[in-house]
Amino acid sequence: MAKNVDNSAPVDVDVEDVSERREPALELPSLDDMPVRSEAVLPEAVLDAEFDDVSRQAPVVEEQSSSVKVNTPLQDRPVPRISIEAFCKSPENGSVMQQVASDRRLSRAHVTVHMGGIQAAVQHFSVTPTPNLILVEATQDHDAIFKGLEELAAVCDAGTKVIVIGQVNDIILYRELIRQGVSEYLVGPLTVPQVIDAVSTLYVDPGATPIGRSLVFTGVKGGVGSSTLSHNVSWCIAERMLHDVTLIDLDLPFGTAGLDFNEDPAQGVADALIAPERLDDQLLDRLLVKCSEHLSLFTSPGVLDRDFELESAAFENVLDRVRSTVPCMVVDLPHIWVPWTRHILLTADEIVITATPDLSSLRNAKNLVDLLKQSRTFDNPPKLVLNQTGVAKRPEISEKEFAEAVGVPVVLSVPFEPQMFGTAANNGQMVAEMKPDSKVTQGLLSLAGLLTQREPVEQKTSTLQKFMAQLKGK
């Protein structure tokens, strides 16, 4: 009889020693009396969960032992809403599984960690429903492992996948496990990237639409220039690197993306957030503003006559939809601290923190960086930008002292240039568009390249185009 499993629950890491439960021992029927469920000891998995996202460069998975250590980057492939239960015999592997459960790529999954091996799993699932994925640690000899897996197969539902964690780097064992229906064999001691890659590989749809990278810009306090920086970097990525970008302004009442790009759309991101379930590709095309061939805007309404009481799920759905349509998504995050802003930060591919060289910015930047380092252990550290440096007669914290106190290097220092930035804002232009040869523009291009791993494309500019650009800059 099929068993219902709740796959929509949030991440919840529980650690309990199943092997020490004081319940009466369960009498399992002999293997000879068990009905034959399939040709393999463990049935082939049937994936019911919806595939959400897939990396743009998903690797081809070949049949090989996972014990071979390959120095490949951790894939940004979110695991869909599934339930996972791990049974670890060693405390070290149990600790690794707890770190896996808190990683952003498994933020949609429900993960439970137990202490105990295959027998603990057999006992547990004799009386509880089986999840989508089971990880079991086996330290016995080969015969004992296969016997334990036979007993586990007898209590598993037909759609359950199994990953075995072993201590022996044995290709013969690996092939026999795969032949009998085990999804993967990992050799301990485990690492967090190793487990995440193994789990996400099982739930990647090769035909799914590639997802874009999310670049989130946030300021440590109001007025530091995070929005201006995100708009200019978006323009550089689109116009100088010829890379498709969608800029999303999430400051719903006070956003300036429309003003900075001289656009005044009737609809925008607020309309999508109010009814995220209605957002499809056709509606998204109507809501986006096409600024140029490679740059689109998802603007905020910038009005105060509406209250925006929105759930985190609405933002997640809208951002997921945008990521499925463009290779690069830039998010201009407002300076507020609520559950949805925290979630967007923690699940971003790259984070840019903008600060000014003063004490309050230093304190806020350090708090934010400490949180991100703790929550995103296996992600790139945030990029720190010091803005409005060199203001006359203003005491400032030096770049070196600021970086040492915060704990991350300063990747870009933007000088205080009120004339240039003010003129560009009033004209509805970007700095790189108005002053393409300035040092500020070169710094913005460097940051854009650092975030996208791309180089500016050389473009031939006619004399007339140069003359028109000079007229606009006046």
Indicate if 228 and 191 belong to the same structural domain: no
pLDDT for the residue 204: 66
Q: At what angle do helices 359-375 and 339-346 cross, to 10 degrees?
A: 70
447 compared with 28, residue with greater pLDDT: 447
Asked which of 183, 202, 221 is the last residue of a domain, the reply is: 202
345 compared with 143, residue with greater pLDDT: 345
Judge whether residue 104 has pLDDT over 90: no
Whether residue 441 is contained in a domain is answered as: yes
Q: What is the pLDDT of residue 460?
A: 61
Q: Model confidence at 143, in pLDDT bands (50, 70, 90)?
A: confident
Residue 64 counted as domain residue:
no
Q: Which residues contact 384 (CB under 8 A, 6 or more apart)?
A: 353, 355, 365, 369, 402, 403, 406, 408, 409, 410, 411
In this predicted structure, the answer to whether residue 8 has a pLDDT above a threshold of 60 is: no
In terms of pLDDT, which residue wins out, 5 or 81? 81
Domain count of the chain? 2
Quote the domain boundaries for residue 245.
Answer: 213-473
- Averaged pLDDT, 164-172: 87
Average pLDDT of the residues in 163-171? 88
User: Are residues 230 and 198 located together in one domain of the fold?
Assistant: no
How many helices and strands in the chain, by DSSP H and E? Answer: 17, 14
What's the one-letter identity of residue 173? L
Q: Would you say residue 207 lies in a domain?
A: no
In a domain, residue 386? The reply is yes
Return the pLDDT at 167. 85
pLDDT band at 464 (very low <50, low <70, confident <90, very high): low
Same domain, 111 and 41: yes
- Band of pLDDT at residue 79, cut at 50, 70 and 90: confident
417-431 per-position pLDDT tens digit = 999 999 999 999 999
Residue 72 pLDDT > 50, yes or no? no
277 and 159 belong to one structural domain: no
Choosing from 202, 223, 258, the residue where a domain stops is 202
State residue 246's pLDDT score.
94
Confirm whether 100 is domain-assigned: yes
Q: What is the pLDDT of residue 465?
A: 59
- Domain containing 361 — which CATH number? 3.40.50.300
pTM: 0.70
Q: Is residue 2 part of a domain?
A: no
Element (H or E) spanning 460, and its range?
A: none
Q: pLDDT band for position 105 (50/70/90)?
A: confident
Is the model more confident about 101 or about 236?
236
Band the pLDDT of 101: cuts 50, 70, 90: confident
Identity of the highest mean pLDDT range in 28-42, 51-65, 202-216, 375-389: 375-389
> Which is more confidently placed, 445 or 38?
445
Say which residue, 222 or 309, is predicted with more confidence.
222
> Last residue of some domain: 202, 227, 247?
202
Q: Please, is 126 exposed, middle or buried when counting C-beta atoms within 10 Å of its C-beta (0-12, 13-18, 19+)? A: middle
DSSP 422-456: HHHHHHT--HHHH-TTSHHHHHHHHHHHHHHT--P
Domain shared by 434 and 411, yes or no: yes
Q: Both 235 and 263 in a single domain? A: yes
Q: Region 427-449: what's the mean pLDDT?
A: 93
Rank 211-215, 308-312, 411-415 by mean pLDDT and report only the highest: 411-415
* Model pLDDT, residue 255: 92
pLDDT (0 to 100) of residue 442: 94
Kindly tell me if the per-residue pLDDT of 117 is higher than 90.
Answer: no
Residues 170 and 35 placed together within one structural domain of the fold: yes
Q: Which whole-number Å values give the CA distances from 36 to 39, 43, 80, 130, 435, in the listed order? A: 8, 11, 31, 19, 74
Does residue 140 surpass a pLDDT of 50? Answer: yes
Query: pLDDT tens digits for 367-416?
Result: 999 999 998 888 889 999 999 999 999 999 999 999 999 999 999 999 99
Percent of the chain predicted with pLDDT > 90: 43
Residue 4 lies in a domain: no
Q: Is 51 a member of any domain?
A: yes
441: pLDDT strictly greater than 60: yes
Residue range 129-140: average pLDDT? 88
For residue 118, give the CATH number of its domain. Answer: 3.40.50.2300
- For residue 115, the SS3 value is strand
Are 190 and 246 found together in one domain?
no
Residues 218, 160, single domain; the answer is: no
Same domain, 269 and 194: no
Same domain for 292 and 187? no
* pLDDT over 60 at 63, yes or no: no
Residues 194 and 220 in one domain: no
Decide if pLDDT at 451 tops 50: yes
Predicted confidence at residue 469, as pLDDT, reads 58
- CA-CA-CA-CA torsion sign (418, 419, 422, 424): negative
